[in-house]
Structure 1
Amino acid sequence: MLITGLLVALLPAAMVWMSSDENKYRKLAWTCVFLTFDLIVFGAFTRLTDSGLGCPDWPGCYGLANPFLAHAEIAAAEALQPTGPVTVFKAWVEMIHRYLAMGIGMLVMAMMATAWVQWRKHKRPGFEPGMPTVLFFAFALQGAFGAWTVTLKLQPVIVSTHLLLGMTLLALLTWFGSRQNIVHDTLTGKKIRPAAPPPVLRAIRWLAVASGVVVAVQLALGAWVSTNYATLACTEFPKCGGQWVPLMDFEHGFHLWRELGKTAAGHYLPFEALTAVHWVHRNFALVVVALAGYTAYRAWNIVGMTKLARGIAMVLGAQAATGIATIYLNFPLAIAVLHNLGAALLVLMLTMLNYRAKHQSDTALHSESSTLRAAAPSRHQQ
C-alpha cells in the first residue's frame, strides 16, 4: 500500500520538479490543492455509488494491497449478494479513492519536510514550517476518519465528519497556496496596492468570513443529508410533501451518534426524521445564497477580487440548479456528483476571497498608518 501511494505521488511530484516555474514549492502547494479537490469529488462519487464498503477492511482489501489480489474474496461476496456493498466495481472505486488519498499524503509530507529543512538552514520567507505541519496533522486526522468510516460501517456522524475534514483540508491548502502567491509576489518585487479604502475592504473581509461560516454550516447539513440518504425525503420543490412545513422529527433526525438508518435506541429511523434533515438543508441554502451572493456583489468591482466574485455568483446559481434538479430528476448520479463538485468549488473560491480580502485590508491599514506617521513630523514642524 505504501509503495502504491508513493507511485501515485511520483507523477505529480515529477511534473512539479520539471515545470518551468522557478518557485516549485508554491507549485507543489497548488498541486496539492488540485489533487485534494479531485479527491473530494471522487470521494463524492465513491459515496454516491455506495462504494464506501467496497473493500470491507482498511487500509487494504481483504488484507491485500489491491482488488486484483483479493479477486476471489470479492467475487465470492458479490455472488452471495450481487447488489450488496462488495462488488468488483465498488472495490476498485474504493481502493482508487484510497490510493489517491495516500498519494496526496505523500506530497503533503514532502511539503512539510521541505519547509522544515529550508527554514532550519536559511530561514527563507515562505518556508515557515507551522502551516505545512498543521496540514500534515490535518491530513492524518482525515485518514483516521477514513479508516473509521469503513470499520464503523458508515456511521453517519463519522462519514459526515470525514467529508467536512476533506473540505477543511481543501480550505487550509488553498489558504496556504494563496499565502505562497503573496510571498512570491513580494520576493519578485511586485507591489501590491490596496484596491479600495480600508472601510470598504474591512467590510468585505467580514462578509467573506461570515459567508465562510454559513457555507461550513451548509456543508455539515449537506453531509448529514447525504450520509443519512435523505436526498429524496422531499420529492418536490419548493414544497415538501405538498406542504410548506411538512411533518418532521428533529429529535431522531439530528441525533448524531447512531447507526445508519436507525435511531439511538436501535429502531428504524422514521421517515419524518429524514424529512427534517432534508428540509433544514434545503431552507438554509437560502441563507447561503443571500449572504454569499451579497458578498460577491460587494467584491464584484474590487481589483483582485472581481473574478472570484463572479465565480462565486456562478457557482451559487449552479448549486441551486443542481440541488433542485437532483430532486426533480430522482437523484441522478451525475448531477449529485456535480452538486458536490460545486460545494468544493465554493469552499475553494471563498477561501481565496477571504485571503485576498484579509491581505488587501491589512495592506490598506498599513499604508494608512504609514501615511499618518509620515505626515505627523510635517504638522509638528509647521
Structure 2
Amino acid sequence: MLFQLASKGLFVALLACVIVWSSRDPNKYRKLVWVTMFLTFDVIMFGAFTRLTDSGLGCPDWPGCYGHANPLQALEHIRAAEALMPDGPVTVMKAWVEMIHRYLAMGIGVLIIAIVVIAWRFWLQSGRTLTRFSPRYPMLLLFFVCVQGAFGAWTVTMKLQPIIVTIHLLLGMALLGMLTWVGARQKDHPFVDARALTLRTPALLALVLLSMQIALGGWVSTNYAALACSDFPLCHGALVPQMDFEHGFTLWRELGKTAGGDYLPFDALTAIHWTHRMFALAVVAVLGWTAWKALSIPGLRTTARGVLAALVLQIVIGIATVSLKWPLALAVAHNGCAALLVLLLVMLNYKARIPSPSGQNREPYQIDLRSSAASKDKA
C-alpha cells in the first residue's frame, strides 16, 4: 500500500516537473519553486473544499483508505459504512475527495525534496557563494512539509479535533508563504525606493494580523460556526449578541463538544463567528493602510495594488457568503482569497527588505536544470 501511495505522489510531482522542463524560463530551479507554490495554493483551496464538504473523514484511517491505496480497492468497506450512515462522513465521493487531497499533498512533498536536492547541488557547485541557492530555506521547507504531513495524519486519527485542523490550515498557509519567499529570492526585482524601509514594520504587522484572522477563520470553519450569525452586519439582530466565549475558545476539546464532554452550546458558536467578524475590521484597516502607503513607493506599487484588490474581493466574498447562507463555491473562494493575501503580503515584506537597484548585490546567474552546472551571465 505504501508503495502505491508513494507512486501517486510521485506521479503528481512528475506532472509538475513536465511543466518546469517545458518552460522557456532558463532558470528551471526558480520555475520549480513557483510551480510548487502554485500547487500548494491549489491544495489549500482543495483542502478547504475537503473540509467544507465534510470529507475529512471520507477515509477514516491514514495514510490509506481502509488499508488500501485508493477508494476503489476499499469500495466494500466504504459501501458498508455508507449503508450504516447514509448521511455520515464516509461515502464514495467523500473518500475520493479526501484521497485526492492526500495525493496532491504527497506530490508537494516530493517537489520540495527535489528543491532541497537541487539547492544543495548548485550551492556546492558555486563554492557556497550563491546565497540565493542557500539550502537553509529549502531545508526549512522540508521540515515544515513533514510537520504539515503529521498534522494531516492527526486530523484524521483525532477525528477532526478543531485545534488540530486549524493548525493544519495555518501550516499550509505558512508553507505557501515560505515558498513565495524562496521564489522571490530567485528573481531580480525592479528598483525599490529606500522609503520601503519605513514599510517593514507595517508590512510585518499586516502579515501577523492576517495570520491571526486566518486562525480565527479556521476556528469558525472547523467548529461549523459559519452560520452562527446568519444576518449582516448585525448578529441575531444585535451588535453584541449573547455569547459564550469560555466554551467557544476552549482549544483542546472534541469537535462539537465542550472540554467536559457536553454538546457545545450555540452561544459558543456565536462567539466564534462574531470574533472572526469583528477582528476582520482591524485586519482590513491595517492591510488597507499598509497597501495605501506602499502605493507611493516605486517598486512596491504593483504588489500594493494586488493587496488592495484582493482585500476588496475578500470583503465582498465574506459578506456574500453570510448573506447567501454559505454557498460552497463562495466559502472555498473565501479560503483561496485568504491564501492570495498571504502570498501578496509575503511578497510585500520581501520587497520592503531589498531597497536597492535591480540586480545590485545579487548573483547574475541563470540556472538551467538540464545542464550539468550553473552558467554565469557575463552581461
TM-score (norm 2): 0.91
- Which amino acid is the alignment partner of residue 158 of structure 1? I
Match of 2:288 in 1: 293
Q: Spell out, residue by residue over 1:220-275, the C-alpha distance to the aligned partner (whole angstroms, 9 max, x if none).
A: 11010000011111111111111111111111110000000100000111111111
Match of 2:59 in 1: 55
Match of 1:314 in 2: 309
- State the percentage of identical aligned residues: 59
1:325 to 308, 314, 320: 320
Kept in 1, the 8 Å contact 2:191–2:299? The answer is no
Q: CA deviation at 1:301?
A: 3.4
The reply to whether residue 2 of structure 1 matches residue 17 of structure 2 is: no
- 1:1-382 paired onto structure 2 within 5 Å: 1-122=5-126, 123=128, 125=130, 126-182=132-188, 193-195=191-193, 198=194, 200-360=195-355
Kept in 1, the 8 Å contact 2:192–2:300? The answer is no
Match of 2:369 in 1: none
User: Following the alignment from structure 1 to structure 2, what is the Cα–Cα distance between the partners of residues 157 and 363?
Assistant: 44
Greater CA deviation, 300-309 or 81-90? 300-309
Match of 2:373 in 1: none
- Which amino acid is the alignment partner of residue 130 of structure 1? R
Q: CA deviation at 1:40?
A: 0.2
- Provide runs of 4+ in structure 1 moved above 3 Å: none
Kept in 2, the 8 Å contact 1:37–1:344? The answer is yes
Structure 1: runs of 5+ lacking an equivalent: 186-191, 368-382
Q: Spell out, residue by residue over 1:304-357, the C-alpha distance to the aligned partner (whole angstroms, 9 max, x if none).
A: 221211111111111111111111111110110111111000000011111011
Kept in 2, the 8 Å contact 1:319–1:343? The answer is yes
Kept in 1, the 8 Å contact 2:206–2:290? The answer is yes
SS at match of 1:153: coil
> For this pair of structures, how many residues does the alignment match?
354
User: Following the alignment from structure 2 to structure 1, what is the Cα–Cα distance between the partners of residues 137 and 318?
Assistant: 35
User: Following the alignment from structure 1 to structure 2, what is the Cα–Cα distance between the partners of residues 202 and 117?
Assistant: 34
- Which amino acid is the alignment partner of residue 307 of structure 1? T
Q: CA deviation at 1:181?
A: 1.0
Q: CA deviation at 1:124?
A: 5.3
Kept in 2, the 8 Å contact 1:250–1:276? The answer is yes
User: Following the alignment from structure 1 to structure 2, what is the Cα–Cα distance between the partners of residues 331 and 19?
Assistant: 39
- Which amino acid is the alignment partner of residue 210 of structure 1? L
Kept in 1, the 8 Å contact 2:75–2:92? The answer is yes
- Which amino acid is the alignment partner of residue 178 of structure 1? A
SS at match of 2:332: helix
Q: Spell out, residue by residue over 1:30-59, the C-alpha distance to the aligned partner (whole angstroms, 9 max, x if none).
A: 111100000000000000000000000011
Q: CA deviation at 1:363?
A: 6.9
Q: What is the RMSD computed on CA atoms of the aligned residues?
A: 1.6
User: Following the alignment from structure 1 to structure 2, what is the Cα–Cα distance between the partners of residues 333 and 193?
Assistant: 42
Greater CA deviation, 308-317 or 277-286? 308-317
Greater CA deviation, 120-129 or 4-13? 120-129
SS at match of 2:187: helix
SS at match of 2:352: helix
- Which amino acid is the alignment partner of residue 181 of structure 2? W
Kept in 1, the 8 Å contact 2:148–2:172? The answer is yes
Kept in 2, the 8 Å contact 1:118–1:124? The answer is no
User: Following the alignment from structure 1 to structure 2, what is the Cα–Cα distance between the partners of residues 315 and 283?
Assistant: 19
User: Following the alignment from structure 2 to structure 1, what is the Cα–Cα distance between the partners of residues 310 and 192?
Assistant: 27
User: Following the alignment from structure 2 to structure 1, what is the Cα–Cα distance between the partners of residues 357 and 218?
Assistant: 37
Structure 2: runs of 5+ lacking an equivalent: 362-379
Greater relative contact order structure (CA < 8 Å, 6+ sep): 2
User: Following the alignment from structure 2 to structure 1, what is the Cα–Cα distance between the partners of residues 67 and 129?
Assistant: 44
- Which amino acid is the alignment partner of residue 25 of structure 1? Y
Q: CA deviation at 1:207?
A: 1.1
User: Following the alignment from structure 1 to structure 2, what is the Cα–Cα distance between the partners of residues 19 and 354?
Assistant: 28
Higher helix share: 1
User: Following the alignment from structure 1 to structure 2, what is the Cα–Cα distance between the partners of residues 145 and 89?
Assistant: 23
Q: Spell out, residue by residue over 1:78-133, the C-alpha distance to the aligned partner (whole angstroms, 9 max, x if none).
A: 12211110001000000000000000110000110111222233335122110000
User: Following the alignment from structure 2 to structure 1, what is the Cα–Cα distance between the partners of residues 192 and 76?
Assistant: 63
User: Following the alignment from structure 1 to structure 2, what is the Cα–Cα distance between the partners of residues 59 and 210?
Assistant: 37
Q: CA deviation at 1:71?
A: 1.1
- Which amino acid is the alignment partner of residue 323 of structure 1? G
- Which amino acid is the alignment partner of residue 76 of structure 1? A
Match of 2:365 in 1: none
TM-score (norm 1): 0.90
